[in-house]
Chains A and B, each alone.
Chain A
């Protein structure tokens, strides 16, 4: 390696060689499929745009998402942190800031464009849909360049990076979708996208320069006063027990991230109500988006919560300070669960206060009341109330679940476990398109197989839970009493949910055992129980 540029390129290649190899393998397989299609002379025709979307862009999205993470250093950094995710170790290299920002951007945008062009020309099979050649390559490069610029920027608040980057990337996507809607030509698309690429570079350079100088704005002071008031109110009995101290630690570390993210997004989402006063469908759609915001944003927060050492060089390893707390691994996990519970409640309190307020101020509350009245008239008050309570409970549980269900991955302390889970997630995205198409073509077969599929999934879940319970018992991570109480509590929740489903879905078409399987699958068990085992594996290596 004779130049810094070559060294940076080598770093990407070396660090992600297995991912790149897997991608290459995937494309070779697709290319072989295309050759076979050509050889058979039977072009595949995807009748609807929806089917085309499932077969082509969805699998490709996984590839491009992976490349976005690679070239923006997303695997190594903490997306929710205030600090830049550009690796700090590179700031001491004898290179200009322009080069530090420029080379990863150049490599990334070139790879994105090449991957698209290679895919379009050699891999995608004939589908009956005219797929453009050049402008999607430019769009991929633009999206990467702006992702780099916005994720490398230091921010004043934790989580603000996700909000700003998501907002700006959605703006770019919206512009492109509008242009497509008005059937813009390739030249127009290129004219829209081309200026966006060079504009990203000075932003990225500014971001890296600030991060290199250690300039991280801190706007948390704006929120300290209410936090201090809450702190004082609880100071009397706080920290009287180790578990309370640890819960306080986790709350201070991660507790406000989800409510802050939701709080930043809510005003933008609810502002749309003011523009939708006469369109009930749009109001319902906006409310749906608002209600899905906490569980959706919990996914991003979970990436930090699950790290044993957030912000540290080795985010997943337990620091000696934390490992030497005189607490069991189960108690350390319990503190995280408690924090996640309070964080979920805080986020939902925000939503439940903001939504009625926005509905009232935007004069759209009558539309929602009218819809609710119609639902009550159709299914009766008890069922309508139950559905509403269940929906809110499901959203709350879902938010909590998103925060904690991947704890076991991060707490295991092994980067390969996290990478494997990301790889499996992206692989699932790749196969989901063809899978949905296949299901669409074999609805009857799938319908008949649903009980078996659910039974197998429930069997897998219970087997995993059994194995984890055995590990918990053998290693003494939790007491026998806790183990029995936990299992009994889970059974009670499953039976209660089953009872509600039986009452709610009173139809002969869905057998009781199917509802029981659904209740078993819906109630969290195995992954949350695995967290103490994972932490102990990390803590006592």
Chain B
């Protein structure tokens, strides 16, 4: 079995008195699609930020491709495609400027693929980022995260702002294609039907602790009620007492 792409061991992080992550351990293997689910404030984004090296482990360790993302940000970040939940692209840039700027950082940038994605998203290259809609900004973010075919794609709430058509037809297809090419995807979402559609493996996180992490099929099988196999949303409700999508925080 190949070495895991991400290895998180006994990771703990506190913000003031609140434990955002408490002894979290996780191993993400190559070529799989991992869905990270949990209610708001559960610790999903905090975990992702540790994987990217934006947060330093207070205790425990994080390794991505066997490297410490804080000690070697270039070694790790040059192999990761990341879409931030905050959609914080520089709003003064034009789309073509952002593409030209971004491609300089990644030797494996695929111009043809970038153009293909731009067509798929129907993006105007002369548009300024600040004049784009929330969904279009997310699409630009996806484009620059995908165009260099990263080994690991990390998506934090990728569906936010995307219309259902783009979400179902494009995002799902992209994620599946990446996995089929042997690359890895880790994405957080509160849309459990989406996670159910594309994820191979689901990790549920609550109050900073991983309460369940297993292949999706195994999770569903373990919650089987006779002939009936429950949906991920039903399993989530059974564990947390509230649906992720209908949670007031979600």
> In whole Å, how far is A456's beta carbon from the nearest beta carbon of chain B?
35
Name A180-202 residues within 8 Å CB distance of B: none
A326 touches B101 (CB 8 A): no
B53 touches A540 (CB 8 A): yes
Name B78-126 residues within 8 Å CB distance of A: 78, 80, 82, 84, 86, 88-90, 92-93, 100-106
Name which of B66-74, B214-222, B223-231, B241-249 contacts chain A: B66-74
A240 touches B84 (CB 8 A): no
> In whole Å, how far is A264's beta carbon from the nearest beta carbon of chain B?
21
B70 touches A245 (CB 8 A): no
Assembled-state Cα–Cα distance A341/B86 (Å): 32
What are 10 A-B pairs with beta-carbon distances under 8 A? A239-B103, A242-B104, A248-B101, A253-B92, A326-B105, A327-B74, A328-B74, A539-B73, A540-B54, A541-B54
**Which listed residue (A239, A319, A327) contacts B86, Cβ 8 A?**
A319
> In whole Å, how far is B141's beta carbon from the nearest beta carbon of chain A?
9
Chain A 320-343 interface mask (CB, 8 Å, partner B; 1/0): 110111111100000000000000
**CB-nearest residue of chain B relative to A475?**
B71
**Which listed residue (A241, A252, A324, A475) contacts B104, Cβ 8 A?**
A241
Q: Which residues of B contact A (CB under 8 A)?
A: 49, 52-56, 70-71, 73-74, 77-78, 80, 82, 84, 86, 88-90, 92-93, 100-106
A476 touching B78 in the complex, CB below 8 Å, given contacts A248-B101, A252-B92, A321-B90:
no
A326 touches B106 (CB 8 A): yes
B105 touches A539 (CB 8 A): no
A-B contact count (CB 8 A): 72
> In whole Å, how far is B66's beta carbon from the nearest beta carbon of chain A?
17
**Which listed residue (A242, A320, A323, A541) contacts B105, Cβ 8 A?**
A242
Of A248, A252, A324, A326, chain B has the most CB atoms within 10 Å of the CB of: A324
Q: Which residues of A contact B77 (CB under 8 A)?
A: 324-326
Q: Which residues of A contact B70 (CB under 8 A)?
A: 540
Query: Does A296 count as interface, using CB distance less than 8 angstroms?
Result: no
A240 touches B56 (CB 8 A): no
Q: Which residues of B contact A475 (CB under 8 A)?
A: 71
> In whole Å, how far is B157's beta carbon from the nearest beta carbon of chain A?
12
Assembled-state Cα–Cα distance A391/B150 (Å): 52
**CB-nearest residue of chain A relative to B72?**
A476
Query: Does A244 count as interface, using CB distance less than 8 angstroms?
Result: yes
Assembled-state Cα–Cα distance A327/B75 (Å): 9
B84 touches A321 (CB 8 A): yes
B90 touches A324 (CB 8 A): no
**Which listed residue (A241, A326, A476, A540) contacts B55, Cβ 8 A?**
A540
A239 touches B100 (CB 8 A): yes
Assembled-state Cα–Cα distance A312/B91 (Å): 10
A541 touching B56 in the complex, CB below 8 Å, given contacts A239-B100, A240-B104:
yes
Q: Which residues of B contact A321 (CB under 8 A)?
A: 84, 88-90
> In whole Å, how far is B14's beta carbon from the nearest beta carbon of chain A?
12
A324 touching B80 in the complex, CB below 8 Å, given contacts A249-B90, A252-B92:
yes
Q: Which residues of B contact A325 (CB under 8 A)?
A: 77, 105
7 more A-B residue pairs beyond the given contacts A321-B84, A326-B74, A539-B53, with a C-beta to C-beta distance below 8 A: A245-B100, A252-B92, A253-B90, A320-B84, A321-B90, A324-B80, A540-B54
Q: Which residues of A contact B82 (CB under 8 A)?
A: 320, 324
A541 touches B101 (CB 8 A): no
A245 touches B101 (CB 8 A): yes
**A: number of interface residues (CB 8 Å):** 26
**Which listed residue (B49, B71, B73, B90) contacts A326, Cβ 8 A?**
B73
Q: Which residues of B contact A252 (CB under 8 A)?
A: 92-93
Assembled-state Cα–Cα distance A329/B53 (Å): 12
A244 touches B56 (CB 8 A): no
Assembled-state Cα–Cα distance A420/B172 (Å): 49
A539 touches B84 (CB 8 A): no
Chain A 234-255 interface mask (CB, 8 Å, partner B; 1/0): 0000011110110011001100
> In whole Å, how far is B79's beta carbon from the nearest beta carbon of chain A?
8
Q: Which residues of B contact A326 (CB under 8 A)?
A: 73-74, 77-78, 105-106
> In whole Å, how far is B207's beta carbon from the nearest beta carbon of chain A?
21
Q: Which residues of A contact B93 (CB under 8 A)?
A: 252
Chain A 461-478 interface mask (CB, 8 Å, partner B; 1/0): 000000000000001100
Assembled-state Cα–Cα distance A325/B105 (Å): 8
Name A298-332 residues within 8 Å CB distance of B: 312, 319-321, 323-329
Of B73, B74, B89, chain A has the most CB atoms within 10 Å of the CB of: B73
A323 touches B54 (CB 8 A): yes
**CB-nearest residue of chain A relative to B53?**
A540
Assembled-state Cα–Cα distance A132/B227 (Å): 92
Q: Which residues of B contact A539 (CB under 8 A)?
A: 53-54, 73
Of A239, A244, A253, chain B has the most CB atoms within 10 Å of the CB of: A239
Of A240, A326, A476, A539, chain B has the most CB atoms within 10 Å of the CB of: A326
B92 touches A327 (CB 8 A): no
Of A312, A476, A541, chain B has the most CB atoms within 10 Å of the CB of: A541
B73 touches A328 (CB 8 A): yes
> In whole Å, how far is B61's beta carbon from the nearest beta carbon of chain A?
14
B92 touches A245 (CB 8 A): no
> In whole Å, how far is B107's beta carbon from the nearest beta carbon of chain A?
10
**CB-nearest residue of chain A relative to B71?**
A476
A249 touches B101 (CB 8 A): yes
**CB-nearest residue of chain B relative to A539?**
B54
Q: Which residues of B contact A248 (CB under 8 A)?
A: 101
**Which listed residue (A241, A244, A324, A328) contacts B52, Cβ 8 A?**
A324
**CB-nearest residue of chain B relative to A220?**
B92
Q: Which residues of B contact A239 (CB under 8 A)?
A: 100-101, 103-104
A327 touches B105 (CB 8 A): yes
Assembled-state Cα–Cα distance A162/B104 (Å): 35
> In whole Å, how far is A540's beta carbon from the nearest beta carbon of chain B?
5
Q: Which residues of B contact A328 (CB under 8 A)?
A: 73-74
Of B52, B82, B101, chain A has the most CB atoms within 10 Å of the CB of: B101
Assembled-state Cα–Cα distance A241/B107 (Å): 9
Chain A 502-541 interface mask (CB, 8 Å, partner B; 1/0): 0000000000000000000000000000000000000111
